[in-house]
Amino acid sequence: MNRAESKYFNTAEKMNDALLRLLEKKDFEYITIKELCEEAKVNRSTFYLHYENVGDLLEETTRRLLDRFLSYFTVELENINSGFADCEPGKLNFITEEYMKPYLSYIRDYRSTFSVALKNNHTFGFEQIYDRMFDNIFNPILERFGYPEEHRKFVMMFYLNGINAVVNQWLAEECRQPVEEISAVITECVFGRNEGYKILNYL
């Protein structure tokens, strides 16, 4: 990274962090360029060297959040839905160490950022991301297990909100429990403590 790139990166980091801190206090619609510059300790002209408006900064911050999240995974997530139609049912289970450990590790390492993103999911466009995940991942999996089409979104809301409830409690306790323990709690909630990992229970 050359000096110019390094300077740009440092400014972008300051601006992204400033936006996240302000989102802890107020809705995106009420955040001004003046506030962002004061929070990031950069002047207004520097802001306009990088962005046309606050919306441009939001897009960049969203990309950086997603890139950082994805960097925790060793599996190839972009093509995760390849083979869904004919793979073994056990391959359709994402409540495994391969997926849970990086997911929970990211939350632990960036708990403040994750909390802000969760609170502002509409602002960051995460609802649209979920819609794409439902269409390309969750819906095909539920179809494999014979769930009626009209029930699938209800099933996923129950499933995801349950996991989110565990994560929110973990966050409220400042992520004191180890990742492995929370992963075990989620696994028990999904599959049951004494029932084992029966293939028909996999989602």
Q: Torsions phi, psi of 140, nearest 5?
A: -60, -35
58 shares its domain with 77: no
181 shares its domain with 112: yes
pLDDT digits (tens, 9 = 90+) for 2-22: 444 556 678 899 999 999 999
Mean pLDDT of 139-146: 89
35 shares its domain with 101: no
Structural domain span for residue 18:
1-65
Tokens of 121: 């999911």
pLDDT of 14 = 94
56 shares its domain with 104: no
- State the DSSP code for 28: G
Q: How many domains does the chain have?
A: 2
Burial class (CB in 10 A: 0-12, 13-18, 19+), 166: middle
Alpha carbon distance 187, 189 (integer Å): 5
Contact predicate 89/199, CB 8 Å? yes
Query: Is residue 33 scored above 70 in pLDDT?
Result: yes
147 shares its domain with 92: yes
Mean pLDDT of 129-158: 92
179 shares its domain with 136: yes
108 shares its domain with 48: no
122 shares its domain with 151: yes
pLDDT digits (tens, 9 = 90+) for 109-128: 999 999 999 899 999 999 89
97 shares its domain with 170: yes
pLDDT of 144 = 87
pLDDT of 5 = 54
Q: Residue 108 — pLDDT band, cuts 50, 70, 90?
A: very high
51 shares its domain with 94: no
The pTM assigned to this predicted structure is 0.83
CB contact set of 202 (below 8 Å; sequence gap of 6+)? 89, 90, 92, 93, 145
Q: Residue 91 — pLDDT band, cuts 50, 70, 90?
A: confident
pLDDT of 90 = 72
Query: Is residue 200 scored above 70 in pLDDT?
Result: no
Q: Identify the CATH number of the domain in which residue 61 sits.
A: 1.10.357.10
Domain boundary among 25, 41, 65: 65
6 shares its domain with 48: yes
50 shares its domain with 106: no
